[in-house]
A and B are shown apart, each in its own frame.
Chain A
Amino acid sequence: QKEVEQDPGPLSVPEGAIVSLNCTYSNSAFQYFMWYRQYSRKGPELLMYTYSSGNKEDGRFTAQVDKSSKYISLFIRDSQPSDSATYLCAMSVDSGNTPLVFGKGTRLSVIA
């Protein structure tokens, strides 16, 4: 079993839809969770980061962590064609400077 599992998609939705992206993980030591957005042939861009269980909202984006289920989600409201990208979840065990463990990424297309 991989440490971090993420459905690669592709996921195609109409403009304005609510998008749900998910990751599961096996290592219960993970405490810090991040979502990155990566456009084609670009570097990953940090979207959201959160510690432990709970929700965090930033504009149209909401990150949710359920440590009891080892499951994290990213919700995108009112999706736009500019949201079309690959979304990567990442996590680490420590609050300090430690390497991140990534999912493979989910490719999202938002159709106008």
Chain B
Amino acid sequence: NAGVMQNPRHLVRRRGQEARLRCSPMKGHSHVYWYRQLPEEGLKFMVYLQKENIIDESGMPKERFSAEFPKEGPSILRIQQVVRGDSAAYFCASSPLGFYEQYFGPGTRLTVT
């Protein structure tokens, strides 16, 4: 049973470029969450999605960040016009319907130069 998959594992972008992070949930899981982990900080919630719906984006910065989880394919977290402060590890988690436990992927480490 494959776990949560994220790609790329490492992403380097120059300031002003766009970053696209992908997440495929575990088989049978219909709920996806994105978290960001800054150095020496805990995981911070960003956005929660179901297929074709954003359920809660209260942790998402208002500008430059967006997320989607289409009917087919992975969930995508998009960061436009990246700045150095966006450098962090971005983790995706998934859970089945009605369960509070979340299972995490290996993360994408974004470096903005």
Q: Which residues of A contact B (CB under 8 A)?
A: 4, 6, 8, 32, 34, 36, 41-46, 49, 88, 90, 92, 94-105
Q: Which residues of B contact A (CB under 8 A)?
A: 4, 6, 31, 33, 35, 40-45, 48, 55-56, 58-59, 91, 93, 95, 97-107, 109
Beyond the given A43-B106, A49-B101, please list 11 additional residue pairs across the A-B interface where CB-CB is below 8 A: A42-B106, A43-B6, A44-B91, A90-B43, A97-B97, A97-B99, A98-B48, A98-B100, A99-B33, A100-B43, A105-B42
Could you tell me if B59 and A99 are in contact, using CB atoms closer than 8 angstroms?
Answer: yes
CA distance A99 to B44 in the complex (A): 9
Contacts of B100 in A (CB 8 A): 32, 34, 49, 92, 94-98
Chain A residue with Cβ nearest B109: A41
Chain A residue with Cβ nearest B29: A97
CA distance A103 to B42 in the complex (A): 6
CA distance A105 to B106 in the complex (A): 17
Contacts of B95 in A (CB 8 A): 97
Partner of B42, one of A49, A92, A102: A102
CA distance A32 to B35 in the complex (A): 18
Assuming the contacts A97-B97, A97-B98, A99-B33, asked whether A88 and B42 have C-beta atoms less than 8 A apart, the reply is: yes
CA distance A32 to B98 in the complex (A): 13
**Shortest Cβ gap from B65 to chain A (Å):** 15
Chain A residue with Cβ nearest B91: A43
Could you tell me if B105 and A43 are in contact, using CB atoms closer than 8 angstroms?
Answer: yes
**Shortest Cβ gap from B9 to chain A (Å):** 9
CA distance A105 to B35 in the complex (A): 15
CA distance A35 to B49 in the complex (A): 23
CA distance A8 to B42 in the complex (A): 10
Contacts of A95 in B (CB 8 A): 98, 100
CA distance A43 to B9 in the complex (A): 11
Contacts of A8 in B (CB 8 A): 40
